[in-house]
Amino acid sequence: MSTQKASTNGIVITLHDIHKTFGEHEILKGISLEVHQGEVLAILGSSGSGKTTLLRCINALEIPASGTVSIDGQKIDYSQKHSRQDVLHLRRKTAMVFQSYNLFRNKTALQNVMEGLHVVQKKSRDEARQEARKALADVGLSEFEDRYPVQLSGGQQQRVSIARALALKPSVILFDEPTSALDPELVSDVNEAITAVAKTGVTMIIVTHEIGFARRVASQVVFVDQGRILERGTPEEVIDHPKEPRVQAFISKLSYK
């Protein structure tokens, strides 16, 4: 299964000179980045480095002060006038998996996954149900489709949110520290589900504090520091053999094996 289009080497996301400020504080200081189809990009960095803000600027949950975002042919130049409709079209190219699951508490796992398919994509309930069941199966939750979030563990709830994102067949799935709210014994369960999804060829960007997980799942790694990209390369280049002293210091403090 793949949610991507036919080209094998196409660029799915282009960010050019992205700046973001909160009040007088500049969080992102000219980020430029390309992500290719099927790539799994891990964004690393210390707390406050700007990595989550960068992720949220990609799908316009945060609006950049300036710069250009292009996702699978949908482009916004934030230095120019743009409409709310432009933002919605860009956002619909993505699906987001949040730290805190963001599930509807009054809906079952199946209904949570169906919601976007039926309400946003206007698919019939039968078609939405069929696609939602497949997505739940992809994350190993077929037998839990009738359970409500309160009846699921944190790890199972996060897998429902991954299934919900996967079912939408977006150009890219964005993960914002998807295991940070989980008890340690549930982290590997969710990481395994994300790894399985990555193997399907879906383009993914993952903000994570888990160096070992990034090392295993990512095809490219970006290290963000003080609102700038300090280093980019393969996991072997950035995690195993970082060139920048700041990245070396960060990696040396964490065990990733």
Report whether pLDDT(5) > 70: no
pLDDT at 9: 54
Residue 114 placed within a domain: yes
Tell me the residue range of the domain where 129 lies. 103-169
Task: Say what the pTM is.
Answer: 0.92
pLDDT cut 70: percent of the chain above it: 95
Residue 162 placed within a domain: yes
Residue 214 placed within a domain: no
Closest CA to 60 of 96, 24, 27, 26: 96
Residue 225 placed within a domain: no
CA distance 183 to 69: 35
pLDDT per position as a tens digit, 42-99:
999 999 999 999 999 999 999 999 999 999 999 999 999 999 999 999 999 999 999 9
What value does the CA radius of gyration of the chain take, rounded to a whole number of Å?
A: 18
Residue 163 placed within a domain: yes
Residue 108 placed within a domain: yes
Report whether pLDDT(33) > 90: yes
CA distance 135 to 111: 12
Residue 69 placed within a domain: no
Specify the number of domains making up the chain: 1
Residue 147 placed within a domain: yes
